């Protein structure tokens, strides 16, 4: 048998705090799993371990600074500064929760005593110089100090959040914020594309001017080549000049082709900018519709609250009327009882 053995086990649903919000609970098991306390006799350490299949979803070493908190009659939580998280357990009954909490307190105290014994052994074996160099101990890290918050998250709040997410998956507020973010992004992109479009338009005009100049220069060079070819008795220098002119023409044609490709790319960017503008208009329309829907829902909510208040008032009025009727009925019953007694006495006197 190994040095680490389970000393107490139970079953519970395991949760961890959402690391991004530090408020909502995230389930780490699809169903209830076994949660066990382990004791390592070699290192004198108590740990809480839970496995979901072959995956360890809890591996928490109990320290004297930890505390287990009951946040409801079936839910408890504790913070683990080493794992930089908060664990939550949902039990099937309050008795299971209480048993787990009692074991936590018991093993926490055992861990504290083991730590004190270890410190005493270290103090006995350490030299005076080492003791003087030790300095003051740092204040312990409490569960509430993890990530700079002492806010305890109850499963009820997380449950309500999840219920709202299920019942109202398209909540007007969240949709409005989403579309507003999308609209802001599109506005930024549209501004960048507009600036790029203006710059591209200026470049296109410049390139058109250069293109016209290149075409004029090419035509002039062609004419010059033709004139040189017509001249009889061409010299070697003329042939060299012709070759250079032909090379220049080829370079100009290559540059002209490159300019045309750039112009085509600019046209595509302009089309994309137009599509983005259409998307922005569509999102603005959806945002407006969402705001109108939100206002309508708020109006319906106010109407329902008013109806509820009127219903409560009517119910209270009915209870008062019913109470008055019962009092009146009690009085009538009392009067009938007195009348019966009087009639009984009258009959007895007549018979005597």
Q: For residue range 206-218, what is the model confidence (pLDDT) as tens digits?
A: 778 777 877 778 7
Q: What would the pLDDT profile of 127-173 be if each residue is shown by its tens digit?
A: 444 444 444 333 333 333 333 334 444 444 444 444 344 334 444 56
Q: Please give the backbone phi and psi of residue 12, each rounded to the nearest 5 degrees, phi first.
A: -160, 160
- Position with higher pLDDT, 138 vs 197: 197
Q: Is the pLDDT of residue 70 over 90?
A: yes
Residue 98: burial class (beta carbons within 10 Å; 0-12, 13-18, 19+): middle
Give the best-scoring range by mean pLDDT among 210-214, 235-239, 261-265.
Answer: 261-265
Position 126 scores a pLDDT of 59
For the chain, what percent of residues have pLDDT higher than 90? Answer: 37
- Domains with residue ranges and CATH for the chain: 6-118 (2.30.29.30)
Confidence of residue 118 (pLDDT cuts 50, 70, 90): confident
Q: pLDDT-based confidence at 228, cuts 50/70/90?
A: confident
Q: Which residue has the tokens 């569509």?
A: 282
Q: Is the pTM of this model over 0.75?
A: no
Report the residue count for the chain: 352
Say whether pLDDT at 244 is over 90. no
Q: What are the residues whose beta carbons fall under 8 Å from the beta carbon of 18, sequence distance 6 or more? A: 24, 25, 26
Distance of alpha carbon 46 from alpha carbon 38, whole angstroms: 6
Residue-level pLDDT at 162: 42
pLDDT band of 233, cuts 50, 70, 90: low
Average pLDDT, the chain: 80
Contact 34, 64 (CB under 8 A): no
Sign, CA dihedral 262-266-271-275, equals positive
Q: How confident is the model at residue 242 (pLDDT cuts 50, 70, 90)?
A: confident
pLDDT at position 145 = 36
Between these two residues, 159 and 294, which has the higher pLDDT value? Answer: 294
Of 66, 82, 85, whose CA–CA distance to 28 is shortest? 85
Question: What contacts 62, CB < 8 A, 6 or more positions away?
Answer: 45, 46, 47, 48, 104, 107, 108, 111
Lowest mean pLDDT among 11-20, 60-69, 167-176, 298-307: 167-176
C-alpha 219/C-alpha 150 separation (Å) is 82
Query: Which residues, at least 6 apart from 41, have a Cβ–Cβ distance to it below 8 Å?
Result: 3, 4, 5
Of 42-46, 204-208, 249-253, least confident by mean pLDDT is 204-208
What are the CA-CA distances from residue 127 to residues 117, 133, 134, 135, 218 (Å)?
A: 18, 10, 11, 14, 96
Query: Positive or negative, the Cα torsion across 183, 185, 188, 190?
Result: negative
Question: Tell me, what's the pLDDT at 125?
Answer: 66
What is the token pair recorded at 233?
A: 């008795």
Rounded CA-CA distance 23/156 in Å is 11
Higher pLDDT residue, 64 or 224? 64
**Which has more pLDDT, 199 or 139?**
199
Return the residue matching tokens 């499963």: 155
Residue with tokens 């250069």: 210
CA distance 127 to 145: 34
Structure token digits, residue 333: 């019953």
CA–CA dist 326, 177 (Å, integer): 56
57 phi and psi angles, rounded to 5 deg: -95, -15
Query: How far is Cα 117 from Cα 109, in angstroms, rounded to an integer?
Result: 12
C-alpha–C-alpha distance, residues 199 and 297, integer Å: 47
């Amino acid at each position: 048998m190994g040095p680490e053995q389970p000393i107490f086990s139970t079953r519970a649903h395991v949760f961890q705090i959402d690391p991004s919000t530090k408020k909502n609970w995230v389930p780490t098991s699809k169903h209830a799993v076994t949660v066990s306390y382990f004791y390592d006799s070699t290192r004198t350490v108590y740990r809480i371990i839970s496995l979901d299949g072959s995956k360890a979803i809890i591996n928490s070493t109990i320290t004297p600074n930890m505390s287990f908190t009951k946040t409801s009659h079936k839910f408890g939580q504790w913070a683990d500064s080493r794992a930089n998280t908060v664990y939550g357990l949902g039990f099937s009954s309050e008795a299971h929760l209480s048993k787990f909490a009692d074991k936590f307190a018991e093993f926490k105290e055992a861990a504290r005593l083991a730590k004190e014994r270890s410190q005493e052994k270290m103090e006995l074996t350490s030299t005076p110089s080492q003791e003087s160099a030790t300095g003051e101990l740092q204040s312990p890290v409490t569960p509430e100090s993890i990530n700079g918050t002492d806010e305890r998250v109850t499963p009820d709040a997380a449950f309500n959040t999840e219920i709202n997410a299920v019942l109202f998956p398209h909540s007007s507020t969240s949709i409005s914020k989403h579309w507003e973010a999308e609209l802001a992004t599109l506005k930024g992109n549209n501004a960048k594309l507009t600036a790029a479009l203006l710059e591209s338009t200026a470049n296109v005009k410049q390139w058109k001017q250069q293109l016209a100049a290149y075409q004029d220069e090419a035509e002039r060079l062609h004419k010059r080549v033709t004139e040189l070819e017509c001249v009889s008795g061409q010299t070697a220098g003329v042939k060299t000049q012709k070759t250079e002119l032909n090379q220049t023409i080829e370079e100009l044609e290559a540059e002209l082709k490159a300019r045309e490709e750039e112009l085509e790319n600019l046209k595509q960017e302009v089309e994309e900018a137009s599509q983005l503008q259409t998307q922005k208009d569509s999102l603005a329309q959806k945002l407006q519709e969402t705001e109108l829907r939100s206002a309508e829902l708020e109006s319906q909510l106010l109407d329902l609250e008013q109806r509820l208040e009127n219903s409560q008032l009517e119910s209270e009025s009915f209870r008062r009327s019913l109470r008055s009727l019962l009092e009146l009925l009690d009085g009538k019953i009392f009067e009938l009882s007195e009348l019966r007694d009087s009639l009984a006495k009258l009959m007895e006197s007549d018979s005597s």
